[in-house]
Amino acid sequence: MWGFIISGCVLYAGARLSQPIVPNYSYAMESGPAPANTQAIAAGPFKGLVSDYNILSVFTMYDHIKKKPLSQAQRKLAWQQLSSYLHNAQHLDPWFNDTYRLTVGLLAFQKGLALDAVQILNMGSDYIDWDWKLPFYAGFIAYDRLNDQKMAYEFMQEAISRPNVPPLAIGLTSHFLQKEKGHEASMMFLEYLLQTMPKAYHDPIKQRIERLKSQPDSNMRRQ
Amino acid sequence: MSSIFETMRFTALEIIRMRVFHVLIAGAFLLPIMALIFSNLFLFDIAKVQADVLISGARILASVYILFIAVTLLGKDISQKICHLFLAPPLSRFSYLTGRFLGLLFGLFLLMLVVMLTSEASLLLMFNPDGENGRNALPWYTGLSLAGFTFYQHISLLAAVLLICTWASGLAEMLVFSVAILLISWVVPPIILALQSPDITSQFPTLITTLIETIGMILPRLNGGNIGLALAHGFPLSFSNIAWHLVEHAAYAFVMFGLAQLVFSRRDL
């Protein structure tokens, strides 16, 4: 009897150890997220947990984008999927701060995804109506990445009308609205973002700062 | 009254001695550990993620309790005629079913009490109001709220399962219908919410929308108007929001309990 049990244990351990612990493919990357409404229905009363899962998928996707050699098309698809995961997380739990921090840190400075970032922040801003940060971030992205002064003005006006807005935000808003000081204000705001984001997510913001430093003020919003 | 109390006491003892119950209690101790491990994968809202895992875990434990303890106990009683041993004077059918229901409620209460204590302990351990990267702090009573909230919501589900068990013919049938009502009550509220979106409403025939809304009305709402999300974020809940939710579940439990008594009193045992 003991022979059966011990040989079974040895075989089982051997079989387990001979398989790779981390598979060579990523589920998150292969399939992409299910649509937000489908996820909400499947989640039932576990909406919070499914929202957390979407944020975990964002980490996985970002890790793949950074570390795996991807073709241009694969990279573009990966960024689009990462954006979809953030949209889903926002849809399932609109009060989850990680969604908005990652949106600002990752999507905002990615080519072609700034509008997605503004959309996510705008939707979150409706729910988190006591915080000035989300409309301010949306306004900054609209100003810096989309070059849409009108949209930026509307978001920043909304931000400074909210309670507990710090003098820094009011000062930056007035600077953004004066063309000649916009460049300097952008740099200040990006430095502020760096202080609030973990080191692992500094790269896109640092790249943006470098680009701003290396280019003349008049051209900076075209990049 | 004493016969109801005796049946309740007997039921509670029966449940406490069940191995499934011991496993669920062990699960309640493992839950905060799982929550701590999972939440540390995140960057900022760590306490929120921890609360999400605790709330979801409490719900799963309560649902497993209902399916594998309540249904099994009532199913054996009714389908294997064990209830004949109880149903002799002075114990009436009403007293028997009431005692069984209260005993099952007590077992669920004990389970949620352990969940509450372990959750409170883990949340206090991680309490970090001035931590880095905006780690948010939850109110000290979050563990209490989430366990109490889960217990309260599952009273109505337990009453619905009581009705199913008094009506269905055998253990397998009881289990299938109980699983079905649990799953439907999870899935239908988000469908109704999605149907309220103008884009979707315009594509669906009115008959189907009305049908789904009617199904939604006859099931307890376990989502509870995002109360779970509000608890996880530590938002203060409005009195009216909580009060109406409590009234909704109490009324639902009363109706199901009354129907179960009615069906059981007429059942050919």
Chosen for mutation from A37, A100, A104 (greatest number of chain B CBs closer than 10 Å) is A37
How close, in Å, is residue A52 to chain B by CA atoms? Answer: 7
Q: Name which residue leads in pLDDT, B203 or A40.
A: A40
A1 has a pLDDT exceeding 50: yes
pLDDT value of position B134: 37
- Which of A41-55, A100-114, B58-72, B193-207 reaches the highest mean pLDDT? B58-72
| Radius of gyration of chain B measured on its C-alpha atoms | 20
Residue in A37, A45, A98 closest to B45 by CB: A98
CA torsion, points A118, A153, A161, A138, in degrees to nearest 10?
Answer: 10
Look at residues A185, A184, A223 and name the one whose alpha carbon lies nearest to residue A207.
Answer: A223
A156 has a pLDDT exceeding 90: no
Rounded Cα gap, residues B178 and B163, in angstroms: 10
The string of pLDDT tens digits covering residues B187-229 is 877 777 777 667 776 777 778 777 777 777 777 666 655 777 7
pLDDT value of position B47: 84
pLDDT value of position B36: 87
Averaged pLDDT, A173-196: 68
Query: What is the value of ipTM here, to two decimals?
Result: 0.82
Listed in sequence order, the residues at least 6 apart from A212 whose beta carbon sits closer than 8 Å to its beta carbon are A183, A186, A187, A190, A220
pLDDT value of position B58: 93
Rounded Cα gap, residues A2 and B253, in angstroms: 53
Q: What percent of chain B has pLDDT over 90?
A: 35
**Six-digit token string for A76:** 């573009």
| Total number of domains constituting chain B | 1
The domain in which residue B227 lies consists of 2-266
Q: Name which residue leads in pLDDT, B199 or B95.
A: B95
pLDDT value of position B229: 79
Contact B136 A97 (CB under 8 A): yes
How close, in Å, is residue B144 to chain A by CA atoms? Answer: 18
Residue in B43, B45, B194 closest to A40 by CB: B194
Task: Find the range with the poorest average confidence among A8-17, B151-160, B243-252.
Answer: B243-252
Rounded Cα gap, residues A169 and A165, in angstroms: 7
Contact B43 A98 (CB under 8 A): yes
The string of pLDDT tens digits covering residues A100-125 is 989 988 888 888 888 999 999 999 99
Contact A96 B187 (CB under 8 A): no
CA A91 to chain centroid: 14
Residue in B41, B134, B232 closest to A56 by CB: B41
pLDDT value of position A71: 81
From chain B, the residues in CB contact with A52 under 8 A are 38, 42, 49, 52
The string of pLDDT tens digits covering residues B96-139 is 999 999 999 999 999 999 999 999 888 877 655 554 433 456 77
From chain B, the residues in CB contact with A105 under 8 A are none
pLDDT value of position A176: 67
How much is the pTM?
0.81
CA torsion, points A140, A142, A147, A151, in degrees to nearest 10?
Answer: -110
Listed in sequence order, the residues at least 6 apart from B265 whose beta carbon sits closer than 8 Å to its beta carbon are B93, B94
| B38 at A interface, C-beta within 8 A | yes
| B129 at A interface, C-beta within 8 A | no
Are B52 and B226 within 8 A, CB to CB? no
Contact B133 A198 (CB under 8 A): yes
Contact B45 A97 (CB under 8 A): yes
Q: pLDDT class for B57, splitting at 50, 70, 90?
A: very high
Q: Is the dihedral of CA A185, A188, A192, A197 positive or negative?
A: positive
